[in-house]
Amino acid sequence: METREALCSRLRTMSGRMRRQALRMALSAGSLGSHVGPGLSLIEICAVLYGAVMKLKPDQPQWEQRDRFLLSKGHGTLAYYTALAEAGFFPPSELEQFEVPESWLTGQPSMYLEKGIELASGSLGLGLSVGIGVALAAKKKGLSYTTYVLMGDGECNEGTVWEAAMAAAHFRLDNLVAVIDANGMQSDGPCASIMDMGSHTAKWQSFGWEVLEADGHDVGSLYDVFTGPRGAPPRPRVVIARTVKGKGVSFMENNNEWHFSRLTQEQYAAAMAELGDEPC
């Protein structure tokens, strides 16, 4: 049985591979749609879910009892696609087709169950509503899977998020987990300047959710909140993951220019030098 120390070491190594691969994809794509900053903030969240938490059978991508992951924050594909490749849904070599014309690896995901993609996303604020339907289906069918919906804190400006939050609590969906990538930024600037929402913890609690917080770049912290016992009474859970936009590359961290900026060869070399050599 894998020890906690070994588990965390493996997930940190996986996160490192994903972050390097994400930068390679962004460089190769040369596109404003790569969304480097938003992608890098999600790396550890996706690594922990796909590397240690979710029930999956990549060789049976439509296995009925699989846990479902919905990327509502469509700008996070660099983390999402690299996690899917790490989990074995497709060979890592396919990542070279990111944003190549006619490729299925689009800048924002399109539903493709054979590759592990459960939802087409990009229009923000919709993923939680879909997740409620998926979680309700599990209840009605007597299935034991959990549905995870990953959203951004800027995305929570959308009113549809809060309509969905009310519904999830009303239906007591204790098989639903929302994850908030709380990096404090969105495409136009700091969340507090665009639409100050105050305390996410207080808001989600007031909507009847069980609220947990985690360091979104600490794999051990994330693993603990995802696998910890559920509280009573039965209700949906939200994990507020405190993250840094552009995490891992000093000139990208908390720099909102990297929501859209293209990566040059020189910047790529500098970023990879900061990340260091990939472990053997």
pLDDT tens, 67-95? 999 999 999 999 999 999 999 999 999 99
Q: What is the mean pLDDT of each run of 10 residues along the chain (280 residues)?
A: 94 98 94 86 98 98 98 95 98 96 94 97 92 98 98 94 98 98 88 88 96 98 95 94 96 91 94 78
Domain edges within the chain: 4-275
For 8, 21, 202, the CA distances from 243, given in Å and listed in that order, are: 18, 19, 19
Which pLDDT value is given to residue 278?
65
* CATH-assigned architecture of domain 4-275: 3-Layer(aba) Sandwich (3.40)
Which pLDDT value is given to residue 280?
38
Which pLDDT value is given to residue 185?
86
Give the predicted TM-score (pTM) of the model: 0.96
Which pLDDT value is given to residue 167?
98
- DSSP states along the chain: ---HHHHHHHHHHHHHHHHHHHHHHHHHH--GGG-HHHHHHTHHHHHHIIIIIS---TTSTT-TT--EEEE-SGGGHHHHHHHHHHHTSS-GGGGGGTT-TT-S--SS---BGGGTB-----STT-HHHHHHHHHHHHHHHT----EEEEEETTGGGSHHHHHHHHHHHHTT-TTEEEEEEE-SEETTEEHHHH-----HHHHHHHTT-EEEEEETT-HHHHHHHHHSPP-SS---EEEEEE--TTTT-TTTTT-GGGGTPPPPHHHHHHHHHHH-PPP-
Average pLDDT, the chain: 94
